[in-house]
């Protein structure tokens, strides 16, 4: 039976203004051993005062890793998803991601997430933007290979929610093992795709999964007219995307997936996240996936 990690994105605690350490405490209290925070460069007051459940590259990565070990928690990946498809993808996005990769290698994070922008980039044709992203990913993956950290492309925006373009992006750097896919079940759905068919096309490249359901009201209002959604306001299993997630889990179980399933939802300070966790663990058993411990 394949062993997979189970975790959550610390976005779950954005609305309740909890700190990263409070997210670690929640993980320990609920026997969760993987966590996925966003990362900023530098310092800000909301982070310093403990109202921000993400991390900063200004923190010492080794000391943070040791602090996390006391909670029995490790990174599944860190989220450095500054859009790489715009004109500032090379000047802002690339150095940001490269710094995140070097930091991640010391912090014990095996992956760093990246993505494109939500919308067609202003002032660029589609082919221009794709060619710019190719150069960006080649520079990023050069650093990733040196640090042995996997870069994941998250399904989130104008390009990545279109399967043909995503396939092209995943081949930007040849057959390197350091460029893989972060499948987002909610973003594929909200963009108007069939999430199961979408996942089937990329099963051999899926390295990390955002388990994200979608409320009925959101699906009715924006499905097919949006690409990514920042956060889900419904627990996994309680939305209209639940059956697609269930079927994808079975596909992953059949193919021996051994990455991490990371829940993305508005956690309400914990309760909605707890409901999502209970549902996911039940569905994993049905799919033949065993939860990996620390």
Q: Which of 233, 257, 132, 237 is nearest to 183 (CA)?
A: 257
- pTM of the predicted structure, to 2 decimals: 0.96
Query: Which two tokens mark 91?
Result: 């000047």
Confidence check: pLDDT of 294 > 80 = no
pLDDT score for 269? 87
Q: Going from the N-terminus, what domains does the chain have, and what CATH number goes with each? A: 3-291 (3.20.20.150)
Average pLDDT over residues 254-282: 95
| Residues 6+ positions from 152 with CB-CB distance below 8 Å | 77, 111, 112, 113, 114, 180, 181, 182, 207, 208
| pLDDT tens digit sequence for 134-160 | 999 999 999 999 999 999 999 999 999
| pLDDT tens digit sequence for 80-105 | 999 999 999 999 999 999 999 999 99
pLDDT score for 268? 87
Average pLDDT over residues 169-197: 98
């Amino acid at each position: 039976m394949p062993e997979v990690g189970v975790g959550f994105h610390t976005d779950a605690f954005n609305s309740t203004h909890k700190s990263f350490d409070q997210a670690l405490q929640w993980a320990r209290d609920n026997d969760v051993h993987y966590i996925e925070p966003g990362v900023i460069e530098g310092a800000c007051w909301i982070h310093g005062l403990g109202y921000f459940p993400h991390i900063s590259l200004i923190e010492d990565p080794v000391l943070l890793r040791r602090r996390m070990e006391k909670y029995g928690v490790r990174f599944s990946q860190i989220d450095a998803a500054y859009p790489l498809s715009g004109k500032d993808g090379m000047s802002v996005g690339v150095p940001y991601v490269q710094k995140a990769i070097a930091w991640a290698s010391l912090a014990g994070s095996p992956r760093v997430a990246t993505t494109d922008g939500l919308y067609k980039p202003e002032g660029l044709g589609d082919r221009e933007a794709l060619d710019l992203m190719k150069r960006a990913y080649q520079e990023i993956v050069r650093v990733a290979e040196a640090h042995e950290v996997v870069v994941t492309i998250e399904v989130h925006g104008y390009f990545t929610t279109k399967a043909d373009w995503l396939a092209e992006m995943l081949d930007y750097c040849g057959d390197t093992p350091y460029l893989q896919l972060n499948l987002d079940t909610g973003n594929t759905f909200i963009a108007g795709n069939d999430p199961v068919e979408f996942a089937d096309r990329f099963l051999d490249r899926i390295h990390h999964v955002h388990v994200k359901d979608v409320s009925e009201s959101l699906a009715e209002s924006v499905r097919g007219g949006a690409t990514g959604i920042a956060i889900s306001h419904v627990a996994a299993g309680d939305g209209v995307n639940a059956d697609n997630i269930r079927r994808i889990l079975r596909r992953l179980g059949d193919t021996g997936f051994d990455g991490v399933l990371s829940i993305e939802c508005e956690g309400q300070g914990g309760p909605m996240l707890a409901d999502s966790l209970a549902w996911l663990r039940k569905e994993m058993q049905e799919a033949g996936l065993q939860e990996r411990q620390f």
